[in-house]
Amino acid sequence: MKAAANGILHLSIRDGWWHEGYNGANGWAIGDDSKHLNPEDEDKADAESLYRLLEEEGVPLYYDRDSSGLPRGWIHMVKEAIGSIVPVFSTRRMLKEYAERMYIPASQSLKDKGLH
């Protein structure tokens, strides 16, 4: 998650935070959300997806340079990653959410039971 603050594009399977953070324009998602019957099939599908993404999308986007030598598409994607990931996936947001959803209700529950 911190990598996006430094302009690093994420390329991963859609689990954990990337399932929430991926918007189709801020990095790449390996595979799809469907589950395969066994781990070997899932690994094979993920590997094929990874190589296809690198060969057909990531590498060409990075090396597609304008007359100034800048990879404009890549830069656009980096800006999208920074703008869509950094504000949402931060320690500040996480702590605020934990306090509102867990710590304050837990504290109130203890008070209600006379344990606080």
SS (H, E, C) the chain: CHHHHHCCCEEEECCHHHHHHCCCCCEEEECCCCCCCCHHHHHHHHHHHHHHHHHHHHHHHHHCCCCCCCCHHHHHHHHHHHHHHCCCCCHHHHHHHHHHHHHHHHHHHHHHCCCC
Does the pLDDT at position 101 exceed 70?
yes
Indicate the pLDDT class of residue 12, thresholds 50, 70 and 90.
Answer: very high
pLDDT at 116: 67
Rounded to the nearest integer, the mean pLDDT of the chain is 91
Residue of 6 and 73 predicted with greater confidence = 73
